[in-house]
Each structure stands twice: as structure tokens, then as C-alpha cells.
Amino acid sequence: MTITSIRTRAVAVPVDKPTRMSNRELNVRHYLLVEVGTADGYSGVGYTYAGTGAGLLAKLAVDDLLAPVYLGADENDVAGLWERAYQETLLEGRRGTVIRALSALDIALWDLRAKRAGLPLVSFLGGSTDPLPSYASGGYYRPDEGSWTEAVVREIEFNASQGFTDHKIKVGGLSVAEDARRVAAAIEAIGESGRLSLDANNGYRSVHEARTAIEAFERAAGDRPLWWFEEPLSPESVAGHAELARTIRTPVATGEIHQTRWEFRPLIEAGIPVLQCDAGVAGGVTEWLRIASTAATFGLHMAPHWHHNLHVHLCGAIPNALVVEYFALEKGIYNFELLLTPESRLHYADNKVHLPARPGLGIDFDPEIVGKYELMG
């Protein structure tokens, strides 16, 4: 069926209190929402995180650059449209906001096709609807929550109250010694049954600096292995991440900022054990599946970044999914689900996330909340 309409909205949703990670402050999150419609009344929705700004830039990328490629085209020509859109925008940005915008548009097409088939996206992709392993993400630096160790212990306890045994916290925003104390406190709070991963958000300037930090964190964890060490270096430092992966005990994870199969090729060739490909960043469902398939042939795991409402479907459809990252809305940090109707938010229990039974992604945007936070350009 022919694509007849593409509607875009940019929204800016504030976080609920001062928050920071290793190298930047976080006050607001911008999201791009896309709705694709066809002549017979079907529609699909997609979205991406644009950053702490750039929501209107992402909207403009769809409206001005990408929509002309898709309007009037066959909704089923998903891969062909992706290639034409990518080719059409080579001069404007083979990376960055343009690819995030393309991701949202591609996700909307997959949602549309699954809805037309009357299937959850995971089933449309040939996957299982069984619950998937998940972990509670967070551990940001929030100065109004008491001492750093007390804050991380309270968060682990909150995660446990929701049924999670596996957790992730930030590092790189304090001295190595201070972060090591947080790691030790988290490990003690988790107990014997769960796992802890560490996310540095590109916080270390060299392989030596990152290695020094992770060795201190490993000592702080005692005889408990850390699950993974995430983004210790700049995304551009593929060789540095590869060197760390070869020389430290804790597995290295990266890829959440990388885009398209071309940027993932060197990560895969380097054997990075945990790839955090984000379908809202890398090029949508179409490109994510290509990357996941290639990673599987190298024996590498996919542990996608954020967007649990989307990634639960994609992880259920591949053989090499490790885990789904889950952010509780109550933490007020990754706040995308605030834009959704309560009944269409993702369900979880017992350290697992549950696949929605509704067609497509299974999400509905709350028009009142979206209107409250919508940016007018």
C-alpha cells in the first residue's frame, strides 16, 4: 500500500532532578516521534532519542530530507526505501541526527507492517514471545540523594523491589577511588544472586586510564566478576576498546552511539564481546537486524542500549541477544514512557521483560502528554 502521510513531532521531556554522568549534565531529553500513514487508513509509529537537544533538528531531517523519499512509495519496500533515503542524504549526514531521524522513520514502517499483519513486531519478525532477560539500569550521579554510596545502595534496593537481580551503574564521574567505593557498596547490596555492569559513558581519556579504573573496580568487587565495562573510551577509539577487551578480565561493551553497519564492522572485526547497538540510533529495525545477524556469525552478543519498548521485540527475534536494558520510569531519567499511555508501557517481572501482545510495537502515545512537551519550531 502507498505511503500517503508522514507526521513528525519533537518533544522535550525534563528529567525530574539534577542528574549527571561521567562527562555531562542531564536536564532534559528530546525525542522525535514519527507517524507514517497509508491510503487505506493504517498507520505506524516510530521514535528516537535526539539527545539533550536537537529535537527540532531531527524533525527537520525527516520533513525536509527523508519524507520526500518515502511519500508515494510502497510501504513494503522497507529495505529499498532505506537504501534510497541513505543515498539521498549522503551530503547532509551519514551519521548523527540524520541517521537517528531515518531510524525513527524506519521503525514506523515496521510498526505499520506488523499492525497490518495483526501481529506483535517480534512475531512478525519470526521471533518468540517468551519473556526476555533484563536488567535495571541507572546509577547516575544525583547530588541531592545523599552520599554516593548511600545513593547507589538505595537504588539497588529499589531495583530489587521491582524484581530485578541484575543492575548497571555509572562510573567515570568521580575519582577512581570514590567510584570504587560505589562499586563495592553496590556489590554488597546486590548479594550473591545478581550481576553488576559499569557504564563509563566515554569517561576515560586513554587505554591506560581506563585499565587503571577497571582494575580498581574489579578489586572493589572482590571475588564477584563484573558483568561488563561499558564505553570506557571515546566511540572513535575502536582500537582502544579492542585493546582493553584483550587485556582486562571484565568483558568490554560498546556501540550505543555507533551508526549503520559500516561503523559496526570494525567493532565486530575487533571481537568486542558485547555490542550495544541501538535501533533508534544505528538506522532503525532494518539496519539493526543486519548488524545483529553479522554479529551472530562472529559469536558476539547484542545487549541493546535503551528503548526497551522497541528492543524487546528485536531481541526476541535474534539468536544472540544477551539482555534487554530496562529503565524504570519512576527514576525520572530515561523518561520516554511518560509519553505513552500507562496501559501500553512495558511490563516486567522476575528480572525479565514481557513481550506485548498488541500488534506492532504495542505502544500508544498519550496525546495530552505529547502536546504538553511538544516543541514548536
Q: Are residues 286 and 143 in the same domain?
A: yes
DSSP 226: P
Q: Are residues 221 and 335 in the same domain?
A: yes
DSSP 131: -
The pLDDT assigned to 52 comes to 95
The average pLDDT across 125-139 equals 98
| Chain segment 188-238, per-residue pLDDT in tens | 999 998 999 999 999 999 999 999 999 999 999 999 999 999 999 999 999
The average pLDDT across 321-346 equals 97
Distance CA 187, CA 145 (A): 19
- Percent of the chain exceeding pLDDT 70 equals 100
Nearest to 203 by CA among 224, 178, 167: 178
Q: How far is CA 321 from the centre of its chain?
A: 14
pLDDT of residue 377 exceeding 80? no
| Chain segment 28-70, per-residue pLDDT in tens | 999 999 999 999 999 999 999 999 999 999 999 999 999 999 9
Nearest to 210 by CA among 178, 181, 250, 182: 250
DSSP 40: T
Contact 199, 168 (CB under 8 A): yes
Which three cell numbers mark 339?
A: 509519553
The count of structural domains within the chain is 2
pLDDT-derived band of residue 17, with 50, 70 and 90 as boundaries? confident
pTM above 0.85, yes or no: yes
CATH of the domain at 75: 3.30.390.10
- Percent of the chain exceeding pLDDT 90 equals 96
Asked, for residue 361, whether it belongs to a domain, the answer is: no
Contact 156, 123 (CB under 8 A): no
| Chain segment 59-104, per-residue pLDDT in tens | 999 999 999 999 999 999 999 999 999 999 999 988 999 999 999 9
Asked, for residue 307, whether it belongs to a domain, the answer is: yes
**Helix, strand, or coil (residue 1):** coil
The pLDDT assigned to 14 comes to 96
The pLDDT assigned to 23 comes to 86
Give the residue, 143 or 303, on which the prediction is more confident.
Answer: 303
Q: Are residues 195 and 296 in the same domain?
A: yes
The pLDDT assigned to 344 comes to 98
One-letter amino acid at 133 equals: P
Q: Are residues 114 and 128 in the same domain?
A: no
Contact partners, residue 365, CB within 8 Å, separation at least 6 = 33, 45, 339, 340, 341
The pLDDT assigned to 93 comes to 84
Q: Are residues 81 and 60 in the same domain?
A: yes
The average pLDDT across 230-251 equals 97
The average pLDDT across 238-256 equals 98
CATH of the domain at 152: 3.20.20.120
Q: Are residues 247 and 260 in the same domain?
A: yes
Asked, for residue 58, whether it belongs to a domain, the answer is: yes
The average pLDDT across 167-176 equals 98
The pLDDT assigned to 352 comes to 98
Q: Are residues 156 and 175 in the same domain?
A: yes
Nearest to 138 by CA among 183, 174, 168: 168
pLDDT of residue 262 exceeding 90? yes
pLDDT-derived band of residue 144, with 50, 70 and 90 as boundaries? confident
pLDDT of residue 12 exceeding 90? yes
The parent domain of residue 158 ranges over 123-354
pLDDT-derived band of residue 18, with 50, 70 and 90 as boundaries? confident
